[in-house]
Amino acid sequence: MTGKQASERGIGGAAETAQMLGKVEQLRDQIRRHDYLYYIEARPEISDRDYDLLLDELRQLEQQYPPLVTPDSPTQRVGGAPLADFKPVRHSVPMLSIDNTYSEQDLLDFDERVRNSLGVKGVTYVLEPKVDGVAVSLRYEKGVFVRGATRGDGEIGDDITENLRTIKSIPLRLHGKDIPDVLEPRGEVYWPHKDFEAFNRKREEEGEPLFANPRNATAGTLKQLDSRIVAKRPLRFVAHGFGEITPFKCKRHHEIMDALGKWGVPIFPHIQPVEGIEQAIEIIRAWKTKREKSDYATDGMVLKVDRLDWRDDLGKTSRYPRWTVAFKYEPDRAWTKLQDVKVQVGKLGTLTPVAVLEPVLLAGTTVSRATLHNYEQIERLEVMIGDTVAVEKAGEIIPQVVLVDKDKRPKDAKAIERPTKCPECGGPVSAGEDEAVCIRCMNFECPAQFKERLRSFAGRNQMDIEGLGPARIKQLVDSGLVKEVGDIYRLHEPDRLGRLLQLERAGETSVDNLLKAIEESKARPLHRLLAGLAIPHVGVHVADVLTRHFGDIDALMAASQEALEGVNGVGAVVAESVHKFFHSNAGRHIIQELRDVGVSMADTRRKAAGGGEAPLAGKSIVVTGTLPTLGRKEIEELIRDMGGQATSSVSRKTSFVVAGEEAGSKLDKAKSLGVEVIDEAEFLKRIGRK
């Protein structure tokens, strides 16, 4: 938009408008550049916080001058009102799939077919990872993202533009020279491994059913009609092909990929042309182990003829192009017997089926348990007790049951029923909104749930009580010594102590240490306590946000649902859950009990013990390299506890950097910006630990 156009749309005076527009465009350019550095080059120059500040500034300006908002503004990635349905989109060029092979012989045969049919001696190929994601086609017109669609049946897909807009690695506007009028990059949307595991851990903490694997979770996410849900999930995109390109200038696949990369579309980092099939096979063999290091799940490699004119000559069969083939690695998989299905009761009552297996060797470890995720999964697999099942380990993810060999089913195989009561306490179960997947025990007093709640209460990121692990908790609860959370803090009272000492394996010194750890935990900052209360949807992160906003427990307990919803980072679901907890008898009772026994409930990050400022209040700190004693999570938690903020990248606003062994680019950056660098010992001194 030009200043003149903006003023025609009724925005202020011409001069003011031009000035605003200039500022808005400048901010957008800055944000786009940082998106590019972060998502494509993987070398951010500013911290997440500084990035958020830029985005906030832009958001405010756009709120002041709504006509300046354009669909390609970085603020438009948060998602909008839910759609009623996805519109169909006809692909300008059909979106085909590829034929899979599992053997090297198939690759040799493929190469021979290609050479014979072209009548040439040697072929240059490109090799790319085969990303286990969901195929999509993007469309840019004059460099602006206008539409994105799923493959569908190859001719017609679903218009999922609004969902794709929220994916930050998909540029909303391209940059650079010679951008074609129409450009359709095609590729995979995927959920990076590490983010997926972290996301699932958070879901577990918050009592939500777990996603089975990144691919299904990605597919499920892209099918959401409410793009705001998509915006909260860290999906990414990588290009591996193209649809329409007008005008069209390239002669080879790798040239197109290079050009896409230059325009800001994410591509694979090292695509090199390879001469002949032998070299290709070597690379494929080497990648089998290397692939574990990449951030996406890859189950194979895709071999493609590089020359585009040869692709045209080769053509396609009824289903697949003749110029490409996908080689899939055999997954690490083992067959064994399903002996039983146990039900695990989570801290919020979620019932999770777990397969008990005849022990079997899988990728170097003996596996005797595997997850079945939920009852929908059991029904999908049509699995029965006694069946021969395949277990697989995908990346670092826990083993899971993936297949059933029904031909081997014994006559006495037993069906696996959905529980109609809690297998632990016999209490009633219910199925909520997520009924198909999630069955819950509704008895708040269920001992299994209570044990899990205690486990989470005593956990490292919560009240951090050493010595209060699952075995001890079982003992304490089963013996009746601990009936409610507050009882933990009464274990030192004479009559309880006597009974505790009589319990098997509770030696005097270990009881001593336990009581000491329990006593120390009373001083934990409020956000850790909150994270340990098993309030649905409240994990460490939400607890931190709430504590920063309300400061103390009374203010939080008194907050209305609207006030809770008004907190940046707290959605309606979380607000409702927190409000409900603090207005329930059980919730209020827990707080009262803990207050009575002397749990501090203060936000010690604001005020240090002596009543002064917390030692790291207002400081933004980056940790890099390996430290002599503190783990990464540990030091970050310390920083937060002491009132500071742990950020991931160094900028001028970084207060100081804590560096250890093998500190890399962040240390260099700190030095070049003149940011102070200290070691672990100095850090501990500053927080008064040494």
The residues annotated as belonging to the active site are: 130
Strand 645-647 to 620-624 pairing:
parallel
Cβ contact 164:65 at 8 Å: no
> Whose Cβ is closer to ligand IVH: residue 267's or residue 627's?
267
Of these, 74, 152, 185, 241, which contacts ligand IVH (CB under 6 A)?
Answer: 241
> Whose Cβ is closer to ligand IVH: residue 36's or residue 320's?
320
Q: Helices 104-118 and 276-290, interaxial angle, to 10°? A: 150
Of these, 35, 62, 111, 128, which contacts ligand IVH (CB under 6 A)?
Answer: 128
Distance CA 573, CA 380 (A): 29
Burial level of 297, CB count in 10 A (0-12/13-18/19+)? Answer: buried
- Least separation in angstroms between residue 127's CB and ligand IVH is 9
Residue 131 engages ligand IVH in binding (rule: CB under 6 A): yes
Strand 324-328 to 100-101 pairing:
parallel
Residue 321 engages ligand IVH in binding (rule: CB under 6 A): yes
Query: Closest-CB residue for ligand IVH?
Result: 135
Strand 298-305 to 124-131 pairing:
antiparallel
> Whose Cβ is closer to ligand IVH: residue 291's or residue 440's?
291
By CB under 6 A, how many residues form the interface with ligand IVH? 15
Q: 77: which DSSP letter?
A: G
> Whose Cβ is closer to ligand IVH: residue 32's or residue 240's?
240
> Whose Cβ is closer to ligand IVH: residue 100's or residue 344's?
100
Distance CA 272, CA 251 (A): 15
Q: Which residues contact 45 (CB under 8 A, 6 or more apart)?
A: 34, 37, 649, 651
**Residue 328 has which token pair?**
């899939």
- Least separation in angstroms between residue 136's CB and ligand IVH is 9
- Least separation in angstroms between residue 160's CB and ligand IVH is 15
**How many separate helices (H) and strands (E) can be counted in the chain?**
25, 22
Of these, 212, 277, 326, 465, which contacts ligand IVH (CB under 6 A)?
Answer: 326
* Neighbour order of strands in the sheet with 182-190: 144-150, 134-141, 182-190, 236-246
Of these, 240, 252, 453, 579, which contacts ligand IVH (CB under 6 A)?
Answer: 240
Of these, 281, 302, 627, 642, which contacts ligand IVH (CB under 6 A)?
Answer: 302
Subset of 96-125 contacting ligand IVH (CB under 6 A): 96-98, 100
- Least separation in angstroms between residue 95's CB and ligand IVH is 7
- In order of 140, 344, 581, 674, the CA distances from 170 in angstroms are 11, 40, 39, 34
Q: What are phi and psi of 625, to 5 degrees?
A: 80, 180
Subset of 172-191 contacting ligand IVH (CB under 6 A): 188
The H-or-E segment that residue 195 falls in is: helix 193-205
> Whose Cβ is closer to ligand IVH: residue 320's or residue 335's?
320
- Least separation in angstroms between residue 286's CB and ligand IVH is 17
Residue 639 engages ligand IVH in binding (rule: CB under 6 A): no
> Whose Cβ is closer to ligand IVH: residue 291's or residue 527's?
291
- Least separation in angstroms between residue 316's CB and ligand IVH is 8
- Least separation in angstroms between residue 96's CB and ligand IVH is 4
**Residue 48 has which token pair?**
């997440």
Binding-site ranges for ligand IVH (CB under 6 A): 96-98, 100, 128, 130-131, 135, 188, 240-241, 302, 321, 324, 326
